[in-house]
Amino acid sequence: MALKSRGFVITLDAIAALSFMLLSLYFIQTTSFNPTILKGTQLKDFSLDTLTVLEKSGRLGDLITGDSTAVREVLLASPDPDCMQFTLSYLNDTQIAVIDKPGCGGIGNEVQVDYGLYDYGGQVYKTTLKSWYNVEVG
């Protein structure tokens, strides 16, 4: 008597091979190629640039005398995905001014922090720049 119905025979090794292939496909689809280390270096470079320019251009002197406009201009010139918060304080960490780049709001998750010292009129001040990527923009 001949059998008329047809079908597949799925063996254990076929299941293993299929699982391996599906896992490979999943890996290929979800692998991220974003160069995070270089992006971090880019942010670090720009942060150090910002601190240097603030210190050497005399803009911090304006901030100490009460005018924060010049510092805000520099923070605003950073690329859109970059967020920054600049703090000027005395050496004992008493804060004089905290200036945020507009549109960032709060502090991000992966924050880079750079410090500097600034001498103005014989008084030494501490400068701190926190920077991170704004995930919504970048």
Partner 1 sequence: MTLMMFILLIFILEWNYFSVRWNTASAYREMLGTALFASDALFTTPGDPPGWERLGNISESSVHAIGLADSRNILNGDKLERLSELNQSDSDYQLVLERLGMPGYQLHFTIMDLTGESVYYEFGRPSALNNSVTIERLVLINQTTAAVAKVDVWR
Cα–Cα distance list, 49 to 1, 28, 45, 71 (Å): 87, 38, 6, 13
Q: Interacting stretch for partner 1, rule CB under 8 A, among 44-52, 89-97, 99-107, 119-127?
A: 44-52
Tokens of residue 89, six digits:
């304080």
For partner 1, the binding residue among 16, 76, 111, 113 (CB under 8 A) is 76
For residues 82 and 44, the answer to whether their CB atoms sit within 8 Å is no
State both tokens at 24: 């490979």
Binding of residue 24 to partner 1 (CB under 8 A): yes
| Chain centroid to CA 17 | 41
User: What's the CA gap between 49 and 34, in Å, rounded?
Assistant: 24
Residues 84-123 binding partner 1 (CB under 8 A) are none
DSSP E strands, 4-136: 82-90, 95-100, 112-120, 123-133
Look up residue 116 and give its amino acid: G
Stretch that binds partner 1, among 34-42, 98-106, 112-120, 122-130 (CB under 8 A): 34-42
Only one of the segments 43-51, 88-96, 104-112, 116-124 lies at the binding site for partner 1 (rule: CB under 8 A); that segment is 43-51
Check residue 35 for interaction with partner 1 (CB under 8 A): yes
**56: contact with partner 1 by CB under 8 A:** yes
Q: To the nearest whole angstrom, how small is the minimum distance from the Cβ of residue 59 to partner 1?
A: 7
Residues that bind partner 1 (CB under 8 A): 8, 18, 21, 24-25, 28-29, 31, 33-35, 38-39, 41-42, 45-46, 49-50, 52-53, 56-59, 73-74, 76-79
